[in-house]
């Protein structure tokens, strides 16, 4: 009998799609988008639509694996695996203290119940945890500094916009369910502009496409601000709604418009046109998450916040500056203290270096939850070496990833179609629950089940007791329940988080101590580049992969897209070596005259073991604030093979 069962996608994506799974005789035969989900509205991205090739992959791990040699593993039972893991945890804690154990959890699943893994390690230790991140740290720090809050207008408020500036945002790939909203806004008369160093499909949505120099966005914003000032397009209330107005204008006027535009490598007319759009609001600025992954990433986002504030678009329907949606805003994880009680932290972009750094005590054991740091962090070889040289490494995953290959013990866990969890989104305000559409294969456990079995072995069984549903009920904030959004409601249909307003800061007050916008006052210079490596490496998300998880086999070298005049004479379609100051990989060159002559675009993610990992080339560096990873400032060059 064919059944339709609903769940949510839990992967690291802003859309958190509603999925309808068609199940026959216990096997999923097809996946479609949930037509009743407020954002999904009946269609899935390619990645999720093709997830069944991973769900039923013969390479899926369905029993615990124990290392028996270099790159060799043998299956073991769960009792043996958990007994061994518990023994190692207890022994290392006794001999070296809990700080010798590092629990690393990342965004391979955004389910809220994954936080219970943090809870176990906090109760057991607390142990060493990570700080900083490789995604949104710089942008979060920027908006906290400017507004005291990191959230956005309701996504459908874009239908009230007269202008929409997509600043570094590739909606087709990174937010595919935003595309219909943008198209509807355009049909209602909104004018769309894309501002991005890289050409991509989102340009087809826009009437104008501006390509600044990589990292030149701050300078472009300063040129725009100067035009706003000179043409009288500044909100007359700016002095009342913003702090540091005089210092901001002093910084803006430190260089003439032409000099700012030269730094950004855009014509002054582009800055003027963007200023006119901000002055002819309501104008919304949608900030791409990659914008913050530069050495000056926080400064860039702060400059965009300032443009919205001084032009009078902040707090108005159809306006605002959107970087992030508070995906955990409806949920309560306050019982987990995190970094506040951790004895030590590891800076995520410097994972490899800090895990191997001499310290007392050294990090002896690493437990990896919902992550593949070898592939997803900079200096992949350093990260892999850090894990290979630890005394004991445990990885919970469904596949033999590059990180799992470094483990001593691999524990198989559930996929998104077997998840039982709570979910929010960082691309809209919809919340909901993931419910298993099929049970996991025999021999596979959820992360909660793993932690509960481990807790029972180390004397913490009572603290983590309870099934997934009881934990979900506990983790929904009381104020959400008081507004009628209970677990029972969410199990029937995803709905909007009732806490955030439709228009952020509509009362003219932000959440800073003064209630006024804290305008940026210090210039943010882009990173310098070695002339020997003239191309800026942009490792971007693709329509067919989810970070390091690909729904189709990886066979050929990755494609490096470059302007033909920047290809060092290498023909279109030829193999070449893409080199940075620290490493190199083989790529297939593809010419594209729409790209800038100082960038090369490659896919994000890929597998180190297959020579397809761009992060092998990227040095570990941090952003100007927020301890984010400065991933988009690496200089590279193309070298002919042979």
Q: Which of 597, 565, 560 is nearest to 580 (CA)?
A: 560
Question: Assign residue 570 a region: left if phi > 0, alpha if psi is -120 to 50, beta otherwise?
Answer: beta
pLDDT given for residue 551 in this prediction: 58
The residue among 615 and 70 whose pLDDT is bigger is: 615
**Are 477 and 563 in the same domain?**
no
**Are 453 and 378 in the same domain?**
yes
Greatest extent of the chain over all pairs of C-alpha atoms, in Å: 73
At 289, list the tokens.
Answer: 């998450």
Q: What is the CATH number of the domain that holds 51?
A: 3.30.200.210
Q: What is the CATH number of the domain that holds 106?
A: 3.40.50.740
**530 within domain boundaries:** no
**600 within domain boundaries:** yes
**Are 154 and 258 in the same domain?**
yes
Name the pLDDT band for 169 (thresholds 50, 70, 90): very high
Of 296, 326, 356, which closes a domain?
A: 326
Q: What is the CATH number of the domain that holds 590?
A: 2.40.40.20
Q: Which of 511, 484, 478 is nearest to 496 (CA)?
A: 484
- What is the chain's mean pLDDT, rounded? 96
**Are 108 and 197 in the same domain?**
no
Judge whether 54 and 33 are in contact, CB under 8 Å: no
Q: Can you tell me the distance from the alpha carbon of 327 to that of 115, in angstroms, rounded to the nearest whole number?
A: 14
Question: By three-state DSSP, how is residue 332 classified?
Answer: coil
Mean pLDDT, residues 325-350: 97
Q: How large a percentage of the chain has pLDDT more than 90? A: 95
Question: By three-state DSSP, how is residue 531 classified?
Answer: coil
**Are 305 and 388 in the same domain?**
no
For residue 422, give the H/E element and its range: strand 421-423
Q: Can you tell me the distance from the alpha carbon of 471 to that of 120, in angstroms, rounded to the nearest whole number?
A: 14
Judge whether 193 and 206 are in contact, CB under 8 Å: yes
Question: Assign residue 307 a region: left if phi > 0, alpha if psi is -120 to 50, beta otherwise?
Answer: alpha
**283 has a pLDDT exceeding 90:** yes
**Are 50 and 78 in the same domain?**
no
pLDDT given for residue 550 in this prediction: 64
In the chain, the number of structural domains is 4
Name the pLDDT band for 509 (thresholds 50, 70, 90): very high
**Are 145 and 118 in the same domain?**
no
Mean pLDDT, residues 158-168: 98
Of 294, 326, 358, which closes a domain?
A: 326
pLDDT given for residue 424 in this prediction: 98
**Are 362 and 419 in the same domain?**
yes
Q: Which of 584, 334, 574 is nearest to 476 (CA)?
A: 334
Q: Can you tell me the distance from the alpha carbon of 75 to that of 151, in angstroms, rounded to the nearest whole number?
A: 45
Which residue range(s) make up the domain with 478? 65-127+331-424+434-491
**506 within domain boundaries:** no
**73 within domain boundaries:** yes
Q: What sign for the dihedral angle of Cα 152, 153, 158, 163? A: negative
Sheet with 18-24, edge to edge strand ranges: 2-8, 18-24, 27-33
**584 within domain boundaries:** yes
CA dihedral 370, 373, 377, 383 (to 10 degrees): 160
**555 has a pLDDT exceeding 80:** no
- Read off the pTM: 0.97
**Are 317 and 395 in the same domain?**
no
The residue among 554 and 264 whose pLDDT is bigger is: 264
Measuring CA to CA, how many Å separate 566 from each of 44, 214, 570? 36, 15, 9
Percent of residues in the chain assigned helix, strand, coil, to nearest 5: 35, 20, 45
Let me know the angle formed at the C-alpha of 155 by 150 and 158, rounded to the nearest 5 degrees.
Answer: 115
**Are 313 and 386 in the same domain?**
no
pLDDT given for residue 1 in this prediction: 84
**527 within domain boundaries:** no
DSSP at 475:
H
**513 within domain boundaries:** no
Which residues does residue 346 pair with via DSSP β-bridges, in sequence order?
130
Task: Name the phi and psi angles at 250, rounded to 5.
Answer: -60, -45
At 392, list the tokens.
Answer: 């004991």
Name the pLDDT band for 552 (thresholds 50, 70, 90): low
Q: Can you tell me the distance from the alpha carbon of 401 to that of 377, in angstroms, rounded to the nearest whole number?
A: 14
**429 within domain boundaries:** no
DSSP at 9:
-
Of 326, 351, 370, which closes a domain?
A: 326
**Are 288 and 385 in the same domain?**
no
pLDDT given for residue 553 in this prediction: 63
**Are 579 and 635 in the same domain?**
yes
């Amino acid at each position: 009998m064919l059944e339709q069962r609903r769940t949510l996608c839990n992967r690291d994506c802003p859309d958190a799609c509603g999925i309808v799974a068609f199940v026959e005789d216990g096997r999923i035969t097809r996946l479609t988008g949930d037509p009743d989900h407020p954002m999904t509205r009946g269609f899935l991205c390619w990645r999720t639509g093709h997830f069944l090739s991973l769900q039923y992959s013969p390479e899926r791990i369905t029993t615990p694996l124990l290392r028996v040699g270099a790159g060799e593993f043998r299956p073991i039972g769960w009792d043996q695996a958990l007994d061994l893991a518990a023994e190692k945890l207890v022994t290392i804690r006794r001999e070296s203290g809990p700080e010798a154990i590092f629990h690393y959890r990342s965004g391979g699943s955004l389910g809220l119940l994954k936080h219970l893994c943090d809870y176990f390690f906090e109760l057991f230790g607390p142990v060493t945890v990570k700080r900083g991140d490789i995604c949104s740290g710089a942008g979060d720090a920027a908006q906290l500094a400017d507004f005291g809050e990191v959230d956005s207008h309701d996504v459908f408020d874009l239908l009230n916009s007269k202008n929409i500036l997509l600043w570094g945002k590739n909606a087709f790939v990174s937010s595919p369910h935003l595309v219909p909203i943008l198209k509807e806004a355009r049909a209602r008369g909104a004018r769309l502009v894309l501002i991005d160093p890289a050409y991509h499909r989102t340009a087809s949505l826009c009437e104008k496409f501006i390509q600044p120099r990589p990292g030149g966005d701050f300078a472009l914003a300063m040129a725009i601000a100067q035009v706003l000032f000179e043409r009288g397009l500044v909100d007359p209330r700016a002095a009342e709604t913003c702090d540091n107005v005089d210092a901001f204008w002093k910084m803006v006027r430190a260089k003439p418009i032409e000099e700012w535009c030269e730094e950004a490598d855009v014509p002054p007319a582009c800055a003027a046109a963007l200023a006119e759009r901000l002055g002819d609001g309501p104008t919304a600025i949608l900030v791409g998450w990659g914008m913050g992954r530069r050495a000056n990433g926080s400064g860039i986002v702060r400059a965009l916040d300032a443009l919205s504030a001084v032009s009078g678009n902040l707090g108005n329907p159809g306006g605002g500056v959107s970087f992030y949606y508070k995906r955990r805003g409806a949920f309560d994880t306050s019982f987990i203290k995190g970094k506040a009680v951790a004895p030590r932290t590891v800076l995520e972009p410097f994972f490899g270096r800090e895990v191997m750094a001499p310290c007392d005590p050294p990090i002896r054991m690493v437990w990896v939850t919902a992550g593949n740091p070898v592939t997803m962090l900079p200096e992949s070889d350093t990260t892999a070496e850090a894990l290979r040289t630890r005394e004991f490494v445990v990885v919970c995953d469904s596949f033999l990833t590059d990180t799992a290959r470094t483990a001593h013990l691999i524990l198989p866990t559930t996929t998104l179609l077997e998840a039982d969890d709570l979910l929010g989104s960082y691309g809209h305000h919809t919340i909901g629950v993931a419910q298993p559409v099929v049970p996991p294969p025999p021999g596979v456990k959820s992360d909660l089940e793993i932690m509960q079995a481990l807790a029972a072995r180390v004397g913490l069984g009572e603290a983590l007791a309870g099934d997934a549903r009881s934990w979900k009920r506990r983790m929904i904030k009381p104020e959400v329940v008081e507004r009628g959004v209970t677990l029972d409601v969410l199990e029937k249909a995803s709905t909007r988080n009732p806490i955030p307003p439709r228009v952020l800061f509509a009362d003219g007050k932000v959440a800073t101590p003064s209630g006024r916008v804290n305008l940026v006052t210090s210039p943010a210079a882009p990173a310098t580049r070695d002339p020997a490596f003239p191309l800026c490496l942009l490792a971007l998300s693709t329509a067919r992969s989810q970070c390091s998880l690909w729904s189709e086999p990886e066979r050929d070298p990755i494609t490096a897209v470059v302007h033909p005049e920047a290809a060092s004479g290498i023909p279109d379609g030829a193999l070449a070596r893409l080199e940075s100051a620290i490493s190199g990989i083989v790529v297939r060159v593809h010419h594209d005259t729409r790209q800038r002559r100082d960038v090369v675009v490659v896919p994000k993610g890929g597998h180190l073991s297959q020579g397809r990992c761009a992060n092998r080339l990227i040095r570990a560096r941090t952003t100007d604030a927020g301890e984010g990873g400065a991933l988009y400032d690496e200089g590279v060059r193309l070298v002919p093979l042979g």
